[in-house]
Chains A and B, each alone.
Chain A
Amino acid sequence: MSRSPKLALLAGFAALAVVAAGPLIAQPQKQVQPKPKPPVAEQPAHAKLNLGRPALPEEIKAWDIDIRPDGMGLPPGKGTVKQGDEIFQTQCASCHGEFGQGNGRWPVLAGGQGSLTSDRPEKTIGSFWPDLSTVYDYIRRAMPYGNAQSLSPDEIYALTAYLLYLNDIVKDEEFELSDKNFTSVKLPNAATFYDDDRETTEKAFWGKEPCMKDCKSEAKITGRAAVLDVTPDSKTAPKVD
């Protein structure tokens, strides 16, 4: 049975959906509240199948958690670097490290500026990410890992402010990030992304008739798979008859 009010609520929605599905389905329950209007009347003129039911404003609000770079979707709220530091140490640091440096193989969140053309680039929020909205959106939907959607809007503003501070994008511990000033913050690497251009820059891969005979005089081995302990089956030489 329902272990939480959330599950009871889901069951309520299920009952609602049955009502909305129309008169073909026997519907003995009378306790369902509120009763939506008949779905056929609610359908737009172009609907061909008359399936589905109108999404209620409360339902859209509950699920519509995404944030865009232009600020669309930002909830009202605010938080400072200092507040973010405190939340980060209790909620995030066990994986990401006190300063976002990443523990073990967990993701590094700060640093790496100027490393993108190096042999081993370090792609962090400060060195790589183009949009601050992504930080808010991703924390809101997926973090902390294993306890997603548990942080309040203010807590996420504070954490985002702290991540800006860790990446030297804001220098002031008193800095407060809010829905009002959010879109004014620009990330350093924003300008370096461009849309897929393979059909232009890799045009040479199209339309050539490849060589079939006597294409080269010798084939030289230049590299071999490192011996990694992932393919036990291939460790011993096979028997050849």
Chain B
Amino acid sequence: MTSPRNRESLSRRRFLGAAGMAGAGLAASATGARAGAPDPLITEVQDWNRYLGEGVDKRPYGMPSRHEKHVMRRDVSWLTASPESSVNFTPLHELDGIITPSGLCFERHHGGIADIEPANHRLMIHGLVDKPLVFTMEDIRRMPRQNRVYFLECAANSGMEWRGAQLNGCQFTHGMVHNVMYTGVPLRALLEEAGVKPTAKWLMLEGADSSGMNRSLPLEKALGDVLIAFAMNGEALRPEQGYPLRAVIPGWEGNLWVKWLRRIEVGDKPWMAREETSKYTDLLADGRSRRFTFIMDAKSVVTNPSPQAPLKHKGRNVLSGLAWSGRGTIKRVDVTLDGGKNWQSARIDGPVLDKSLTRFYVDFDWPGQELLIQSRAMDSTGYVQPTKDELRKLRGVNSIYHNNGIQTWLVRANGETENVEIA
């Protein structure tokens, strides 16, 4: 036996033991328990059962278990020319419930992650206002706050799938979305401090990062549910999510949610910035382009099973997924297991919030046949999530953004799951 005094060999043994356990676990569930052989994980005293674990001073800021190292953001390097203007993806297939852990929220930067000390951050409001103002973070933290849960979806989420099934995993096809609780100040309150002039119709939001990200926002939305947030999931924003201050534009495409927000100019017309002309405009088949396609339409995806989370067991299984709509709440999610021949309404569990991810389940028995799984979301405005073909018929395949078409997963008899298109 290894002496507990020999820390190095002990930790090595623990590691080997853990690796062995994973294999043993599979074998046990496959044969062991039912064959009647006693399970050594039960009959033998295990290390964690005998030796002391780490003390409370070891993890001042806790991280996930070392057995969850595979649960992480991933990027697709061929998508972009540079990692500082790029995107990575939330591991949706590893998550449950509706709140995305802050460290797993997908990232999209255009000039890298700005590193800003809060004491050095300023928010300026000027333009068509009675009194241009400068706020410090201290000022903003003295204003009345709100807590709201919203999804943030990149306009380009699923954009690589317009021409057909391409990436194998819902992390890659649908992972440019996250859902957290924001704490912040209504933009309306900040605008009231400055006094918006009657001629005002549009705002321009601008980031402090090296891309100087700027977008035009209609005044009506700005006076509605927009938050200027300094916290997510109960703590300060993560640097990659705009620390110390970002815009939260509920239901609207992620690009508008300007991070490291430093300036709001009030005007009477939109600015036609690069991110609302060259980018985030939707080219249709006739060569014309939609602009200001702000709202993210109702959408859903089955996260389990999915290509990165295959089925492992015949018999009882849990199908799980996410639905969301930028137009309101999710009213219903239908799921098919046979490629759309027959549908059933999924069981929604957990909070159903406005413009938030919503969790659904179908608890089902799988005898081991091939499955063609789809989900179809319906929202509170009566919008029904369309198929990809319905969208293509109206838009063609070159609009890049706003692909909310129904996703299909093929589950083979061995449980392996693939991203496919069906007719």
Chain B residues whose CB sits within 8 angstroms of the CB of A116 once the complex forms: 283, 287
| Residue contact A59 to B124, C-beta cutoff 8 Å | yes
| Residue contact B139 to A237, C-beta cutoff 8 Å | no
The residue from B132, B313, B341, B420 contacting A223, defined by CB atoms under 8 A apart: B420
Chain A residues whose CB sits within 8 angstroms of the CB of B378 once the complex forms: 210
A231 CB to closest chain B CB, in angstroms?
5
| Residue contact A228 to B167, C-beta cutoff 8 Å | yes
> Does chain A have a CB within 8 A of B308?
yes
Given A52-B135, A148-B212, A222-B423, do A214 and B410 touch, yes or no (CB 8 Å)? no
The CA-CA distance from A55 to B414 in the complex, in Å, is 65
CB 8 Å contact bits of A40-55 with B (1 = contact, 0 = none): 0011101111011111
| Residue contact A133 to B272, C-beta cutoff 8 Å | yes
| Residue contact B30 to A239, C-beta cutoff 8 Å | yes
| Residue contact A222 to B421, C-beta cutoff 8 Å | yes
Chain A residues whose CB sits within 8 angstroms of the CB of B290 once the complex forms: 193-198
> Does chain A have a CB within 8 A of B133?
yes
The CA-CA distance from A211 to B334 in the complex, in Å, is 10
Given A230-B74, A239-B312, 15 more A-B residue pairs with CB atoms under 8 Å apart are A52-B134, A52-B190, A59-B134, A63-B263, A105-B80, A134-B278, A137-B273, A141-B214, A195-B291, A210-B378, A219-B341, A219-B422, A228-B168, A230-B167, A231-B172
Chain A: CB-nearest residue to B119: A14
CB 8 Å contact bits of B360-379 with A (1 = contact, 0 = none): 00000000100010001010
> Does chain B have a CB within 8 A of A201?
yes
Main secondary structure of the interface of A (DSSP, over half): loop
Given A196-B292, A196-B293, A221-B422, do A238 and B308 touch, yes or no (CB 8 Å)? no
| Residue contact A214 to B126, C-beta cutoff 8 Å | no
Chain B: CB-nearest residue to A212: B343
Interface residues of A in 225-240 (CB under 8 A from B): 225-228, 230-231, 233-234, 237-240
| Residue contact A206 to B340, C-beta cutoff 8 Å | no
The CA-CA distance from A116 to B166 in the complex, in Å, is 23
| Residue contact A42 to B368, C-beta cutoff 8 Å | no
Interface residues of B in 8-47 (CB under 8 A from A): 26, 29-30
Given A48-B193, A201-B394, do A60 and B419 touch, yes or no (CB 8 Å)? no
Chain B residues whose CB sits within 8 angstroms of the CB of A59 once the complex forms: 124, 134
The CA-CA distance from A63 to B261 in the complex, in Å, is 12
Interface residues of A in 173-226 (CB under 8 A from B): 192-198, 201-202, 205-208, 210-226
B421 CB to closest chain A CB, in angstroms?
4
